[in-house]
Amino acid sequence: MKINIKRAYDQPAKADGFRILVDRLWPRGISKEKLKVDLWLKEIAPSDGLRKWFSHDPERWEEFKSHYFEELEANREPVERILQEAGRRPVTLLFSSKEQELNNAAALKEYIEAKVAEAARAA
């Protein structure tokens, strides 16, 4: 299973595989044609309140992830959709933040990889 993350403003590449936008808001100034998104899973994005509270503050990163993971646990359907796609081909989670490392796509990738590892240990 291969899951990548990539900024929505970066050039699409064949190696991206299935491209999923994981932001609640469409990236500013980019057309649907240019983004070349296969799926927009806005319901998997952090809640507006959590996103605004976090505001990409590095000191809030661990707490943000904890709260975001709780939101993901309560909304498993979009996570399952990503797992289905990732079982078939590479998946790239697209985000629009200028912050390359501390963003919802990075947290989501961490969450999914932990769930996959957990399932593998249980099998």
**Domain containing residue 24:** 3-122
Domains in the chain: how many in total? 1
Cα–Cα distance, 8 to 120 (Å, whole number): 31
Q: What is the pTM of this model?
A: 0.94
pLDDT at 122: 84
The tokens of 98 are what?
Answer: 């200028």
The tens-digit pLDDT sequence of the chain (123 residues) is 899 999 999 999 999 999 999 999 999 999 988 999 999 999 999 999 999 999 989 999 999 999 999 999 999 999 999 999 999 999 999 999 999 899 999 999 999 999 888 878 887
Output the pLDDT for position 121: 84
